[in-house]
Amino acid sequence: MDDPDLQIIHVTTDEMFVTASRKNVHYYMFPARAKLDGMNPKLWNTQCEIFLNSIFDIYSPKTFIFDGDYPFRGMLNAMESRPEMNRFWLRESSLNYKISSLPGDAFEVFDAIIHPTLRKKTDPDTNIGRSGSVFCNPILSASPEKSQIDLFRRKELPDECQLIFFDVGKREDLAERIGLELLSNENVYLLVRENMRIRSLLDHPRTLSHPRMTYCEALSVSDAAVIYPDHFSVHTAFFTRTPALSVLEEGKTIRGLQEEFGGEDIPLLYLDSFTNEGIIQSAVNRLIDHNVQFQLVERMEEFGFNDDTGSLTQLIMDYHA
């Protein structure tokens, strides 16, 4: 993205992520169907196809990368009419839809499906369709220097206070309960991202918002974190050695993480989505306990992480040239 000669078109369904911070990046936002009351799925996909075709007509991109969980019909139709375009699907979530619930031709249209992973070397989607498979190490961004971390904490935090990075996805009801439980401790501050919409947390005097921070930077400056259980979030927490509590929506999520990390004993605290107040309080108390944090970090260090961002980028650019 830092190459001024490389033109990047970023299309998203979330306006919170549209930001004009780089001259060589153009941002476009198409509203998610859930935000349009009464929107017919077929009509939404048709409009999405028209929207993407317009962008493809304007820019004639050589490469298209989709990093979502569900390849929706409008996108697939627009892609399918551009066989000259390199087409990659980055599947890195532990919350992926069941293969049977995904459009079957998704595994035909993409040239390759990319799996950033710590341990897995195969996936059910490798047996479906004609798309190739690329397995690589986790995709991670660079950690800030210790001097930058120290400067941030001196500027933003009183002495002896803990900073908790708070990013749990769209489960606002449970997120609010966990966030308020954390803030009931007077020495706890929250660090939130631009996707935070819960007013009781955003308006709290001990909540910090730094929308320009990368995920890796936010975890690096924090003492602990409450995170969404996708692979990117968990990989980054382990990479930065940040003790974490994750909110799991169903049993298959923890099974997916156990498979990803090669065993049942993962140094990660977690809650399910049907938990009660007593369990939330207990989990929060463990997360901010210095002894528990030390034990989690010590066990995280057993996992060696190799960042494949550079080599994956080079692979894509080799096809792009």
Q: 75-87, pLDDT tens digit by residue? A: 999 999 898 999 9
Q: Do 161 and 17 sit in the same domain of this protein?
A: no
Residue 3, in any domain of the structure: no
Query: Do 70 and 198 reside in the same domain of the chain?
Result: no
CA distances from 174 to 110, 144, 194, 214, 227 (A): 36, 31, 18, 24, 12
pLDDT score of 19 more than 70 = no
Residue 283 lies in a domain: yes
Tell me if 1 is assigned to some domain: no
Average pLDDT over residues 202-206: 95
124: confidence class by pLDDT, cuts 50, 70, 90: low
- Percentage of residues of the chain with pLDDT beyond 70: 88
CA–CA distance, 226 with 125 (Å, rounded to integer): 30
Q: What's the pLDDT at 227?
A: 93
Q: How many helices (H) and strands (E) does the chain have?
A: 12, 12
**Residue 278 falls inside a structural domain:** yes
Reported as a single tens digit per residue, the pLDDT across 294-314 is 999 999 998 877 777 778 888
CB 192 within 8 A of CB 219: no
Q: What does the block give as tokens for 58?
A: 């304007």
Q: Are residues 178 and 295 in the same domain?
A: yes
- In this structure, is residue 45 part of a structural domain? yes
**Shared-domain flag, residues 159 and 212:** yes
State pLDDT tens for residues 37-63.
999 999 999 999 999 999 999 999 999
User: Cβ atoms within 10 A of the Cβ of 58, count?
Assistant: 10
- The reply to whether 161 and 283 lie within a common domain is yes
Reported confidence tier of residue 133, pLDDT bands at 50, 70, 90: confident
Same domain, 107 and 157: no
Q: Which domain holds residue 118?
A: 8-138+307-320
Identity of the amino acid at 272: D
- What CATH number should be reported for the domain holding residue 24? 3.40.50
Check if the beta carbon of residue 234 is closer than 8 Å to that of residue 244.
Answer: yes
Residues 152 and 281 in one domain: yes
Q: State how many domains the chain has.
A: 2
Could you tell me if 192 and 110 lie in one domain?
no
Residues 107 and 178 in one domain: no
Residues 188 and 160 in one domain: yes
Specify if 2 maps to a domain.
Answer: no
Q: Does 64 fall in a domain?
A: yes
Number of residues in the chain: 321
The four Cα atoms 58, 59, 63, 64 give a dihedral, to 10 degrees, of: -50
User: Which pLDDT score, from 0 to 100, does residue 308 have?
Assistant: 72
- The answer to whether residues 74 and 52 touch, using CB atoms and an 8 Å cutoff, is yes
Q: What CATH number does the domain containing 161 carry?
A: 3.40.50.2000
Span 63-73, pLDDT tens digits: 999 988 888 99
Calculate the average pLDDT of the chain.
Answer: 86
pLDDT at 180 over 60: yes
Report percent pLDDT > 90 for the chain.
Answer: 45
Contact indicator for 75, 87 with CB cutoff of 8 Å: no
- CA gap 104, 93 in Å, rounded: 19
Is residue 292 in a domain? yes
Q: Where are the beta strands (DSSP E) in 56-127?
A: 63-66, 86-90, 112-116
**Mean pLDDT value of segment 132-149:** 87
Let me know: does 76 contact 52? Beta carbons within 8 Å. no
Interatomic CA distance for residues 235 and 216, integer angstroms:
10
- Is the domain of 101 the same as that of 188? no
Closest CA to 243 of 190, 196, 298: 298
The SS3 assignment for 132 reads strand
Which residues on neighbouring strands pair with residue 27, listed in sequence order?
10
What is the pLDDT at residue 177?
92
294 in the same domain as 169? yes
**Cα–Cα dist 259/85, whole Å:** 34
